[in-house]
Structures are given as C-alpha cells and as structure tokens.
Copies of this chain bind each other. A is one copy, B any other.
Amino acid sequence: MMQRLCIIGVGLIGGSIAKAVRRQELCQQIVGVDADAENLRCALDLGIIDAAFAVCDLAEAAVGADWVVIATPVGAMPSALQGLQADWSDAMTVTDVGSTKQSAIAAAQAVFGATPANFVPGHPIAGAERSGVEAATDDLFVGKRVILTPVAETDPLALARVEQFWTAIGASVALMSPLHHDHVFAATSHLPHVLAYALVRLLGRMDEQEEIFQYAGAGFRDFTRIASSNPQMWADICLLNREPLIPLLGQLGAEISAVAEMMAQQSQPELCAYFTEAREARQRFLNQLETNS
C-alpha cells in the first residue's frame, strides 16, 4: 500500500494514473502538482487528487510522499527534479512517464550528479491526441505496455516496486536500455508524429489556396490524427530525441525521393513491389499487435 503518492503533472497520463490507483485502492492519499492552475483546480474538483499544489510548492507536495510520479511534459523534467532535490529521500520510489529516456536520465544526473538509485525511468505506451486531466480515465493503461529503462545505479528493489505498480493498474512491463528505447520510439512514434505534422502543414497551406480539405475523408482523418497532438509537448520530445530522429528523417526523405524516381521512370513493377513490401511489413506489425494484446 502506498501512503502518499505525489503526481507532478496532472494531465492525461498523470490524471489517469491517479484514477487507476484510486480504483485499485492502492494508495491512502494522492497529491497533485501542476503548472496549469485551471487544470489543477479541475483535478481537485473531480476528486482525482486529494490536495493540489502549484509548481512553486512542489517541495511541500513531496513531503512525506513514499511515491513520486513525474508526469510532466518531457521539457519540464529537469525543473521537476530540481524541485524534488532538497527533500529527496531514499524512502521514496520515484518514476517518470516521459517519451524520451536518455534525456530523463541526463536530467537526473545533472541535478543529482548521478542517477539516484530510487529513480526508475519509465514510459507507458498509452496516450491520445487529447490532453489535460479532463481526458484522464481509470483504464488508460489496461492492456498497455510500459517500458522501464533502469541504469546500472538503479536499485533492483525500486525497479521491482515500479514493475508491480504498473502491473497493478493493468499494464504489462518490458525492460530496455535507455538508448534502445530512444531509437525504437524515434522510429515508431516520433517519426510518424513529425511526418503527420509536416503533411498537414503542407496541405494546410495548399488548402488556403484551393480548398482541398473539403474533399478529404475518413482515411485522411485517421492518417493525420496524431497531427492534433500537443505541439509544445512534441517539440520538446523531438528536440530531446533529435539524435536518432534526425537521421531517420533523412532516411525517410531518401525513401520518398526513391518512390518519386520510380514514378518519374514509370516503373510499375518496381513501385508495386515497393508498396507490397510495405503492406507485408504492416501485416507483420498487425500480427504482433494481436499477439501482444
């Protein structure tokens, strides 16, 4: 049983953690910290948290907390850790939910000189284009994967506690190195987001000239769903994970050029083989998704 869970950043993810913890009766008290006063007020009014603290009162929120979950946008990770520094205690278990893991570890090292043994970097693979505590649900993590990326300094007991925590609210946990995590998610998550933003921005400018959007249908809506994600949050993710992401953007640009060249050469068999390979790859992905769920 947790005594006092301090959630820093009570948005979609932080709020859903609070709701799931409440539903499973895992904790006596849940306190929340958020930079957005209105969002924080809403979390309190909805009964998602028991007490609310502004960011300047973060240290006070953490007093007596045996659990801390940092669920801020990744860009606010360093300041969240700084806010915890003065009252950091070995009695705490601390984890985070950021989409980039090397940057989270680097932030911890910058504040504490080394990664604290009781800080377990994590990343739940769950989200939505919606954000804010009003979008939170108590089953957001049910059947979802959570990646934990412990480092050499990580206390195995803290890691085990964080694993149990996620399992208790319905997720399945996988372990990965921070480097591998960041490469994998640059490809399967960050790259698609950049691509969706780039496509919609290009077409949005065309739309101003000749109204193309009115003839786009459900396929376009699905394809561009992730371009409705929070821009600030995704700008931070992309910058923090730019090391693997920039080369991937280059590789994708090369793929696009290759396809354009096949079209210019009117090479039907080559283009058809290219699309076929893609469809088969997606089928492999779908088969895995089904097996995992």
Chain A residues close to B by CB (< 8 Å): 75, 125-127, 144-145, 147, 174, 180, 183-185, 187-189, 191-192, 194-207, 210, 212-217, 219-229, 231-232, 234-236, 238-239, 242, 245-246, 248-253, 255-257, 259-260, 263-264, 266, 268, 271-272, 274-286, 288-289, 292
Q: Which residues of B contact A126 (CB under 8 A)?
A: 217
Q: Is the CB of B219 within 8 A of A276?
A: no
Question: Contacts A219-B226, A226-B223, A239-B271 hold; do A278 and B200 have CB atoms under 8 A apart?
Answer: yes
Q: Is the CB of B253 within 8 A of A257?
A: yes
- Which B residue's beta carbon lies closest to that of A270? B235
- Which B residue's beta carbon lies closest to that of A219? B226
Q: Which residues of B contact A246 (CB under 8 A)?
A: 260, 263-264
- Which B residue's beta carbon lies closest to that of A250? B260
Q: Which residues of B contact A174 (CB under 8 A)?
A: 215
Q: Which residues of B contact A249 (CB under 8 A)?
A: 256-257, 259-260, 263
Q: Is the CB of A268 within 8 A of B229?
A: no
Chain B min CB distance to A172 (Å): 12
Q: Is the CB of B266 within 8 A of A202?
A: no
Q: Which residues of B contact A292 (CB under 8 A)?
A: 214
For the complex, give the distance between the alpha carbons of A239 and B217 in Å.
22
Chain B min CB distance to A142 (Å): 13
Question: Contacts A127-B219, A220-B189, A263-B239 hold; do A255 and B214 have CB atoms under 8 A apart?
Answer: no
Chain B min CB distance to A248 (Å): 8
For the complex, give the distance between the alpha carbons of A198 and B199 in Å.
13
Interchain CB contact (< 8 A) of A271 among B127, B224, B235, B276: B235
Q: Is the CB of A284 within 8 A of B234?
A: no
Q: Is the CB of B202 within 8 A of A252?
A: yes
For the complex, give the distance between the alpha carbons of A63 and B122 in Å.
68
Q: Is the CB of A184 within 8 A of B204?
A: no
Which of A127, A198, A227, A251 has the most C-beta atoms of chain B within 10 angstroms of its own C-beta? A198
Q: Which residues of B contact A235 (CB under 8 A)?
A: 268, 271-272, 275
Interchain CB contact (< 8 A) of A215 among B188, B204, B206, B245: B188
